[in-house]
Amino acid sequence: MIRASLTAVPQRLPVLWAKAAVFAATVFTVMLATSLVTFVVAQFFLDDTDQAASLTDPGVLRAVAGNAAGTTLLSLIALGLGALLRSVPGAIGAFIGGVMVLPEVLSMLPYDAVETAVRYFPTQAAGVLGSATPLPDAASNGAALFALVLWASAALLAAAALLRRRDA
């Protein structure tokens, strides 16, 4: 598919940006709807517990939207890795290894600087965005969103730089 796309549009960057824009809009829309439906359905099971909540409770609607935004930005990181590596298995391995496993391994190191840096890794930042209450020892919502935007931008910009230099 990429060869046909790049044959139709010889300039490579508009293809990547269009793909990223359509992908992000689709993922955000689907994730927002899924998060809302999941929240409402979960409340049927949690109705008589101390975990019951309403969309009007403080932080809940922000967490539902934050979950959609976090998942969208994580998916853009995966898209960037896929465009960088041009290999589905490689991109999956890089995403799981670099985005999900590496922060867990690094958090075992006994250094404060590493602990602070790990707070801004993609999965930890997405977790902050999807939480209705502040998480202990975590980044603020604004910092977490900014970190995820930077990670996604870095992945897409690296993919764009390589896409300009190589054949499809």
Please give the structure tokens belonging to residue 152: 């996604």
Mean pLDDT of all residues in 128-132: 87
Please tell me which residue, 121 or 134, carries the higher pLDDT value.
121
Contacts of 157 (CB under 8 A, 6+ apart): 80
Residue 168 has pLDDT above 80, yes or no: no
Q: What is the reported pLDDT for 1?
A: 61
The number of angstroms, rounded, from the C-alpha of 89 to the middle of its chain's C-alpha atoms is 19
